[in-house]
Chain A
Amino acid sequence: MQAQLLWRTLPSLVLGLLFLSMPAMGSCSDKYPELLGQLQKQADFMQHTNTLLDLYIRSQGLDKNGLKEHCRERPGAFPSKDALQRLSRRVFLRTLDTTLGHVLLRLAALEQDIPKAQDLEMLSVVKLNIRGFKNNIHCMAQLLPGSSETTEPTPTSPGASPSPTPTLDTFQRRLEGCRFLHGYHRFMRSVGQVFREWGKSLSRSRRHSPHQGLLKGARRMQLSGRNKRLMPRVQLAPGSHRGAPGG
């Protein structure tokens, strides 16, 4: 058991240090491919349920037949993969940043229901990772063309509110927490896929024009997002793309 915990904790710690490496240095990396690769790996890591959800389910006793089936993401709690893919890069990053901010708040609330120090330690590592990830998002946003232009409003996900209604009893709160974490991992998986697509477009652009790859890729994504920004499933705030860079 201790060994298992160690194996779970060690990669998290390493990743946490990776996340915090750039803020610790006080500046962002200006290497787009490197940063993109990091974000992708970090998202891939955070999508694994053993980093958070499994721990929560076990500590709350939700790992019982007839109960764990109800630990499913509530629709609308997090942006879907399609919705994320339709966003421009800038809006995507902002959405990601905002959503993870909500996740942090929610994790702080969930912390109250986790009594074991060991589990709390794991949770604090997860929070550390998310904060590092948010920092990398910030750095990535700076690398995108037109970063100095007007800031776009951030679309919010209604489901990713800081905490559920306080009147909920412990059981309902427990189930909601489980569903939320399920959605969080799914969300991070989608984020990873989006970043992977960014990487693919980068390599395609490099093959055609090494210098123009980044800009073209960014523009293509933005155009794509612009064309579909009014899709109702995304539930973005109106005018969220007015600051999209022209590239």
Chain B
Amino acid sequence: MRLTSILSEPLPWAPESLKVSINSTHQCLHLQWSVHNLAYHQELKMVFQIEISRIKTSNVIWVENYSTTVKGNQVLHWSWESKLPLECAKHFIRMRSAVDDATTPEQRFWSNWSSWEEVDVQNSLGHEPLFVFPKDKLVEEGSNVTICYVSRSQQNNISCYLEGVRMQGQQLDPNVSMFNLYDVAFIRETGTNIYCKVDRGDDIKGIVLFVSKILEEPKDFSCETRDFQTLSCTWDPGRDTGLLKQLPQSYTLFESFSGKKILCKHKSWCNWQVAPESQEMYNFTLTAENYLRKRSVHILFNLAHRVHPMAPFNVLFNDVSVTNATITWKVHSTGNYYTLLCQVELYGEGKVIQKHNVSVKVNGELVLSGLQPDTEYSAQVRCANANHFWKWSEWTRQNFTTVEAAPSEAPDIWRNVKSVQGYCVVTLFWKPLTRLQANGEILFYNIVVKDLDRPSGLQLLSVPAPANRTELTLDQRSYQIHVTANNSVGTSPASVLVVSGDPGDEEVEEERVKGTEGGFSLSWKPQLGNITGYVVEWCDRPRDPPCDLQWKHLGPNTTSTVISSDAFRPGVRYNFRIYGISTEMVPHLLEKKTGYSQELAPSDNPRVVMSNLTSHSFTLSWKDYSTESQPSFIRGYHVYLKSKAGQCHPGSEKAVLSDDSVCCKYKIDDPKQKTFVVGNLQPESFYEFLVTPYSAVGEGPHGAFTKVTTPDEYSPMLIRIILPMIFCILLIMILCYLKSQWMKEKCYPDIPDPYKSSVLSLIKSKENPRLTIMNIKDCVPDTIEVVNKHEGTGKSPTEPEAAKPTYLYLLPAEESYSGPGPCICFENFTYNQAASDSASCGHVPVPTKAPSQLGLLTSSENLLTALEKNCMNSLEEIPAGESSLNYVSQVASPMSGEKSSLPTNPPQPELCSEYKMQMAIPLGLAAPSSSGSSSLSSITLLDEGEHYH
């Protein structure tokens, strides 16, 4: 009965006056209502069931029970955030209530639903054709966002884009589509552009979605004090959210014990005023917050444990002596309750050499000892809380310099002794003292030279610093030399060395040592007797004088050492001398060593001189090649010989050069052998040779080969024969020249005069008066028979008849003759034999007309032609005895002489113009009698050497 009555009547506490409002910015529905019939003073725990539908009431999208304690007349509120922008769809809300009180469990019955409240924002949008929602929404990256558009026209085809990329949506109703964006990313600080366009139109509407990076939790949050008045809190805010304008973030500091809270002005630090009352514990909460997120970190600490002292001040040095100094400093007051631990560091030459810890209340003091004289030091001090270490203060630094002392070590000395004109020239070297040894600035060096033979003979030299050598000229006696270094405070111990008149360095043989990158490892035989030590001497720059003499003192028990120097270079030969120092401080040369820190292949080839070149050998020599100045120990030489034959003789081997050419290689194993005879060569052959040194690390460069060609085998012999022959011939010729008269008389006597002939006397003796010598003047020749003989067997085609004698009638009775005059040739039997070899008869016809003849004879060629045509005979053709008329005659010819001296004037008609075997030839007969053969003989006739004058 009771239940029935309850159900039939409306519940007294049903919700009423339900109002719904919207917040577009936050996409929220805001509900407010009151409870019916609740008394003013009554307080009741109730539950309200709220239903939200979208688009239509039946499409319920959200049901939530909201429990709260309700007081009389109270207006209740509840909000709901929609994922879909509220503008995109209608929403309907209703609710009912029930009492949720444990004391009255029987009252748990739901009231009736309130009526649906409709929320339709689209009606208030306006009349624009297109809308996109939500506007300017702020989300964190990684969020899911729903976008929608509302179109006023169903005909419009609308496309939506996210940063230019088209999105695929879901249609809610004919005018509304929604787009779900998942896991949105931060693109830029100005937000992400999302826009929709009507495909055929100019309308564009869009939104900017502000995507923020997630606010990070502050890191490394800590607080400390330096003066017990202010707490300085710092933290690392992490990365920016990227939306500082749209999404500002704030940092607040909350201290729970005091309940105080401050808003920090800076994003990474904040100052907190320490309370005047002595609060020891602090519990801070740092909260970073923006619209979307809140992050907090906490720290709890005791103030005394977070003390970061300020840097010490007034750091001073007192009582600075040669080896000690007192440092004092002050610290800032941190109250009387705290003791500070201060750390003092002493620096020398840039390194920490001492470190001290000192407990300090207010003033600190520390004695620094074990210092070096005249040395600059630096000391620095810092402090921290001695009881609860938190942080060191900053360093405070100060410099000081200790005072000078006398040099503590004797200078390291050595000498170089030379004998010059009966004197010892001693160059004395010393090394500058180190800072630790000098104890101050060295001002000068004192050198005392003591004559050991005359104890009273002392000499004192003072050499100002920074000199490191001096030269002494001593006689051949022994001297003891003391060297001391002096600064402003005092003198160093003395170094002593004895220089004797006789160095005795000559009898030691040199050994080779092999160097490494680390230096030269030297060892020597221990010396018997009183040896106070050894000295190794060498030059750092042996090639460049002065050679930069170096030395190293070694103890008496040392028999080996490693000599290293930055000056050592590969390919340079270093010479080491090892001396033993006697108790009398006299050095004696013990051993000599030589070697390279690193041997290099020879860089140069010797300059080779070639000599003794024969057809089978030649000699090479390179005597001026110095093996001492080479970059490695020269072990010998290679002689390369290239030849066309390419065959190598015994003693050589084939070698292939870098350019793939093949040659013969002769090896010379003795570096002192600097000549080589290349033998077994072929005459008149081309060879190339190269001499290159070799060492343990290789041989010299294969540079240019020298070319040589062997002479032929007989040339020398021929030279030996021909030269004497030429000499002999010349000698004979000279003799002939000198005895030419005699020769002439013997070989070419004068023509005998018939009137002086013995024959004549013989005739006379026989007294035969008819017998006499016919004078040619007395003869009147009437005819001359001319016999024409042609050489060879063939006939000239131009000569129709065979040669037959021609008779020249000399008497004027002959009428047929009409020429200008006869030409008569006489044959001299005396000359017949001699002339028969070459001479022939030439004839220049007497010209009929001078001008025409001039034209013919203007050139030597024409002249020759003329001569050829008129040459009729030769002695061979007219043998002695065959002709009835033979005369001996010598007629001077105006045409005699060389062809080149032909006159330019037309020749004058001359009879018998040339001395030849001459005949009187009528001009008209001259032409028919010429022939090719006679022409040839004419040319021979005119040969220069055969003319007679």
Contact = CB atoms under 8 A, between A and B. Distances in A.
B135 A115 contact: no
A65 interface: yes
Contacts of B193: 60-62, 64, 67, 171, 174
A132 B152 CA distance: 48
Interface string A120-141: 0000000000000000000000
Interface string B133-171: 001100000000000000000000000010110000000
B210 to A, nearest CB: 8
Contacts of A174: 190, 193, 208
A70 to B, nearest CB: 5
Contacts of A66: 161, 164, 195, 197
B156 to A, nearest CB: 16
B187 interface: yes
Nearest to B191: A170
B136 A170 contact: yes
B195 A170 contact: no
A115 B208 contact: no
Interface string B248-265: 000000000000000000
B190 A169 contact: no
Interface string B201-240: 0101111100000000000000000000000000000000
A116 interface: yes
Contact of B208 (A70, A112, A170): A170
Contact of A115 (B132, B205, B206, B244): B244
Contact of B190 (A59, A70, A172, A175): A59
Contacts of A172: 205-206
A115 B207 contact: no
B191 A61 contact: yes
A115 B188 CA distance: 10
Contacts of B207: 169-171
A113 interface: yes
Given A115-B244, A171-B206, A61 B188 contact: yes
B200 interface: no
Nearest to B189: A115
B605 interface: no
Nearest to B166: A66
Interface string A162-175: 00000001111011
Nearest to A68: B164
A171 B205 CA distance: 8
B74 to A, nearest CB: 36
Interface residues of B, number: 23
Contacts of B136: 169-170
A67 B161 CA distance: 9
Contacts of B190: 59-61, 113-115, 174
A1 to B, nearest CB: 15
A70 B161 CA distance: 14
Contacts of A114: 190
A119 B187 CA distance: 17
Nearest to B206: A171
Given A115-B190, A171-B195, A174-B208, A67 B164 contact: yes
Contacts of B206: 171-172, 175
A169 B208 CA distance: 8
A171 B208 contact: yes
Contacts of A175: 204, 206
A112 B202 CA distance: 27
A114 to B, nearest CB: 8
Contacts of A62: 193
A169 B194 CA distance: 13
B770 interface: no
Nearest to A169: B135
B746 interface: no
A60 B191 CA distance: 8
Interface string B168-201: 0000000000000000000111111101010000
22 contacts: A61-B188, A61-B193, A64-B161, A64-B193, A65-B164, A66-B195, A66-B197, A67-B195, A67-B204, A113-B190, A115-B244, A116-B189, A169-B207, A170-B191, A170-B207, A170-B208, A171-B135, A171-B207, A171-B208, A172-B205, A174-B208, A175-B206
Given A61-B188, A64-B193, A67-B195, 15 more contacts: A59-B188, A60-B190, A60-B193, A61-B191, A64-B163, A64-B164, A66-B164, A66-B197, A70-B204, A113-B190, A115-B244, A115-B245, A171-B195, A171-B207, A175-B204
